[in-house]
Structure 1
Amino acid sequence: MAKPRWRAPLIALGVVLAGAGGWYAIAQLAPGDRGVAPIDSSSNYEVTGVQVDVAGKSADEARTAAWRLAQRKGWKVLWGRMHGLGPDAAPGVPDSTLDSIVAGIEVEQEQVGPHRYIATLGILFDRARTGEMIGSTSGTPHSAPMLVIPVEYDGAGPVTFEQRTSWQKAWARYRTGQSPIDYVRPYGNGPDPLLLNIGQSRRPGRLWWRSLLDQYGASDIVTPEVYLQRRFPGGPIAARFVARHGPDGEVLGTFSLVAPNSAGLDKMLDQGVKQVDDLYIQALNAGSLKPDPSLTIEEPDTPTDDLLPTTADDPLASVISGIDQNNATIQLDTADVAALDAAQSALKSVPGVQSASVQSLALGGTSLLSLSYNGDLAALKVGLQARGWRLEGDGATLTMKRGGQASPPAATPAAPPSAQPKP
């Protein structure tokens, strides 16, 4: 189930209601300048490709009858899928019951006439209500939250969220509720184009990844890539898909698809998303889709008074022993990532410091660190001063700056002896 962070205001959504009895088409996202919000991140069951052809006295009557027929067909397909049987084995369910468990109907393709309705529909079933009727599937393993950075290569070069791409739209259209992979899909607006660019997807350093994953509420990264090749104007479009995982871009699988022309591009990309998801599911079942341990900062347990480590060559260890844990927020000028890394290393090297994690990152400005330490503030300041840093302030908010050991005051020169008259 996707949990996007950097929540931006949702662009206008149009919900089309069609008659009584809870009929409606799913929300369609209005286009914007940048970014595509995921259309559906719920955990509904979905049955696609339901074909109907119904005649009626009017277009509305034909559509209503066709949608009811699609519900019945969709229920049979879903029941058979969940029990490993054919659709004909599904028990019959009254239309009133289907009305209560169907969450929505998606129009994939339709032709409307004065007395006839022909369409291909997708049926969404509410998971909570439908689960009581078809049985539980809670034994399916689920992944850790995975931040999705879709990369598209189409002529000029790679693009992630710098502009809206067909690949990003395909991932926004994909319904992740039925996948055991917990995708975190950014909208692509706000700071996303700056933070989740092609350079970041190739960055091996873990410090910056940790900050990003914390901001987006994820534990790991997946980078699905598509390479598009247009053979000639108006002709076929060949696509090669690559499923990458982790900060080092480990390749889990590749495959190729071909669209007959530009009109079939979206359909091909939708199929590509589904097959990429299948590759990630296979890796999850094989036990290889696990978060990189280097992306996780594990907080050590707070030691008890009699188990606190002591270091013979560090006099601060004896001072810290037996003192309760304290928390503070540290303000730090961070011109670049190296400055942040140096400050965190200095803090963690002081005896008694349990953690020094990034609370708010502002490169070129003032960042905030969350500090947890055992000992009093005076001992912490002494420890940092010995490491070339100084800690200013008292209480829960402190300021950390370069320059620890203060230069000793210059000795005052002795006054020259007063002139004495010669005897």
Structure 2
Amino acid sequence: MLLRRPAVLLSALFLVLAGLGGALVAQMESGERGILPIDSSGTLEITGIKVDVGGKDADTARYAGWRMAQREGFKALWAQTTKRPISQAPNLTDSVLDGLVSSIVVENEQIGPNRYIATLGVLFDRARSAELLGVAGEIRRSAPMLLIPVMISGGTPTSVELRNPWQRAWAQFRTSQSPIDYVRVSGLGVDPLLVNAAQTRRPGRGWWRNVLDLYGAANILVAEVRVDRLYPGGPAKAQFVGRFGPDGTILGSFELVARNSNDLPRMMSEGVRKMDELFVQAHSAGLVRGDPDLIIQPPPPEEVELVEEAGPAVALVPATVVQVLVIEKGDANAVAQSVAQIRGLAGVVWVTQAALPNGNANLSVNFRGDATSLGSALSSRGWAVTNRGGVLYVTRGAAPGVAPAPSPAQP
């Protein structure tokens, strides 16, 4: 039993270390995801400028190399933009170029004690250099296109699940110079679950409609590359294919070759530029465009029924009860006719009648107005009206000089 305890302890320690190793591997794998695309708004880029200069020390040689890259870069960008020979490009002074250049990108450099050999890229500010280069400040862009880079190496397709040279080349691409409005994914968060190599072969439009709505795109562009190596670290041959839409319509293809593994980033960068040209040509031909079936339309606004008003609104006057005494000198028929005329006045809501001993009538008139307004209405119809403390004494037959109005028909 004593001899077996060390073996048991060693086995348990081995299992613990194996579990920790698995956790470390899982952490390393999760950390291998995600390449944030660079912000290329408002810049013009030229790459692949080779410099080989000397100086009294390393810093002087490097500064001279960057100065040379600015001059050569502007001429190359001018020739590329204007489609004219580079020999016709204007020679700008270093002070002018300092105001146009936004930054220097070091692609590869070798620094010696008094020599500088490098391959550089130069970024020019679009707003400042647009007039000299003959380009407009703004270009017409396509509808937003969700870009999915797919790299097939060793028979295994990979998109943004793991970092790869193809995804890195697209992340470093300056999209501001392209008419295609690319929506690039970084590979962080839910990107590996929603946008991966397997999903590019999925034709279901219902799925893509939700994915495109999440990323704010109108259609899909798939940039696919298949890399075949003769041996590890040796020459590589790549087949590039551009696809469009959920159905994977092939827009075109081309081939590039890399001398070795160190030359692979250069091949990928060149492949991105050629793939962008392929997409631009398809866009100019009307093939690359947004699909209304893939865009979730907002619900239509609710229809509001408009009611036309016949006229301006009139505020209703509150109704009050006015006591009216009708004096007809004992004539019952005359009292009935008078009460009927009062009921027909405008503004009268209801009338209640109480008989008096002398044959006259005591009326309670619910009228929209006050006693004065009711008296004025009765006077305009030819009645003789006397207001005594809010009680109206009315007699049918006009006052002197006023003709009585004709009596309405008996209701």
**Could you say which TM-score interval applies, normalised by the shorter chain?**
0.5 to 0.7
Aligned counterpart, 1:68:
67
* CA offset digits 1:96-146 (Å, max 9, x no partner): 221121011112222222122222221110111111333333685421111
One-letter amino acid matched to 2:91? G
* Residue pairs, 1:264-275, within 5 angstroms: 264-275=263-274
Report if the CA contact (8 A) 1:246-1:291 is conserved: no
Q: How much has 1:188 moved relative to structure 2?
A: 0.3
Report if the CA contact (8 A) 2:212-2:295 is conserved: no
Give distance in 1, aligned partners of 2:157 and 2:268.
16
* Residue pairs, 1:22-421, within 5 angstroms: 32-137=31-136, 140-299=139-298, 302=301
Q: Relative to structure 1, is the Cα distance of residues 244 and 90 closer, same or farther in structure 2, using a 3 angstrom cutoff?
A: same
Give distance in 2, aligned partners of 1:257 and 1:82.
24
One-letter amino acid matched to 2:204? G
Q: Relative to structure 1, is the Cα distance of residues 228 and 78 closer, same or farther in structure 2, using a 3 angstrom cutoff?
A: closer
DSSP-derived class of the 2:160 partner: coil
Q: Relative to structure 1, is the Cα distance of residues 139 and 170 closer, same or farther in structure 2, using a 3 angstrom cutoff?
A: closer
Give distance in 1, aligned partners of 2:278 and 2:99.
34
DSSP-derived class of the 2:203 partner: coil
Report if the CA contact (8 A) 2:126-2:137 is conserved: no
DSSP-derived class of the 1:263 partner: coil
* CA offset digits 1:15-35 (Å, max 9, x no partner): xxxxxxxxxxxxxxxx94311
Q: How much has 1:150 moved relative to structure 2?
A: 1.1
Query: What is the aligned-residue RMSD (CA, Å)?
Result: 2.4
One-letter amino acid matched to 2:273? K
* CA offset digits 1:275-309 (Å, max 9, x no partner): 1111101101111111123112445765866xxxx
Give distance in 2, aligned partners of 1:73 and 1:205.
49
One-letter amino acid matched to 2:281? Q
* CA offset digits 1:207-251 (Å, max 9, x no partner): 222221122121111111111222333433222111011111111
Give distance in 2, aligned partners of 1:171 and 1:227.
16
Q: Relative to structure 1, is the Cα distance of residues 120 and 234 closer, same or farther in structure 2, using a 3 angstrom cutoff?
A: closer
TM-score by length of 2: 0.62
One-letter amino acid matched to 1:143? S
* CA offset digits 1:348-370 (Å, max 9, x no partner): xxxxxxxxxxxxxxxxxxxxxxx
TM-score by length of 1: 0.61
Q: How much has 1:37 moved relative to structure 2?
A: 0.9
Deviates more, 1:239-248 or 1:254-263: 254-263
One-letter amino acid matched to 2:63? T
DSSP-derived class of the 2:232 partner: coil
DSSP-derived class of the 1:262 partner: coil
Give distance in 2, aligned partners of 1:135 and 1:183.
24
DSSP-derived class of the 1:150 partner: strand
Q: Relative to structure 1, is the Cα distance of residues 207 and 169 closer, same or farther in structure 2, using a 3 angstrom cutoff?
A: same
Q: Relative to structure 1, is the Cα distance of residues 112 and 130 closer, same or farther in structure 2, using a 3 angstrom cutoff?
A: same
DSSP-derived class of the 1:248 partner: coil
* CA offset digits 1:5-48 (Å, max 9, x no partner): xxxxxxxxxxxxxxxxxxxxxxxxxx943111113433411122
DSSP-derived class of the 2:113 partner: coil
Q: Relative to structure 1, is the Cα distance of residues 197 and 100 closer, same or farther in structure 2, using a 3 angstrom cutoff?
A: same
One-letter amino acid matched to 1:272? G
Bigger Rg, structure 1 or 2: 2
Report if the CA contact (8 A) 1:40-1:174 is conserved: no
- When you count helix as a share of all residues, which structure comes out higher? 2
Report if the CA contact (8 A) 1:220-1:246 is conserved: yes
* CA offset digits 1:168-190 (Å, max 9, x no partner): 12211222221111111111011
Give distance in 2, aligned partners of 1:149 and 1:155.
19
Report if the CA contact (8 A) 2:258-2:267 is conserved: yes
Give distance in 1, aligned partners of 2:64 and 2:54.
8
Give distance in 2, aligned partners of 1:152 and 1:53.
34
Aligned counterpart, 1:383:
none
Report if the CA contact (8 A) 2:130-2:137 is conserved: no
One-letter amino acid matched to 1:42? S
Give distance in 1, aligned partners of 2:203 and 2:169.
27
Give distance in 1, aligned partners of 2:192 and 2:82.
43
Report if the CA contact (8 A) 1:53-1:118 is conserved: yes
DSSP-derived class of the 1:221 partner: strand
Give distance in 2, aligned partners of 1:299 and 1:40.
30
DSSP-derived class of the 1:198 partner: coil
Q: Relative to structure 1, is the Cα distance of residues 303 and 104 closer, same or farther in structure 2, using a 3 angstrom cutoff?
A: same
Give distance in 2, aligned partners of 1:267 and 1:76.
21
Give distance in 2, aligned partners of 1:262 and 1:93.
38
DSSP-derived class of the 1:225 partner: strand
Deviates more, 1:131-140 or 1:56-65: 131-140
Runs of 4+ in structure 1 deviating by more than 6 angstroms, as ranges, are: none
% identity of equivalent residues = 53
- Work out the number of aligned pairs and report it: 278
One-letter amino acid matched to 2:119? T
* CA offset digits 1:337-387 (Å, max 9, x no partner): xxxxxxxxxxxxxxxxxxxxxxxxxxxxxxxxxxxxxxxxxxxxxxxxxxx
Give distance in 2, aligned partners of 1:202 and 1:227.
16
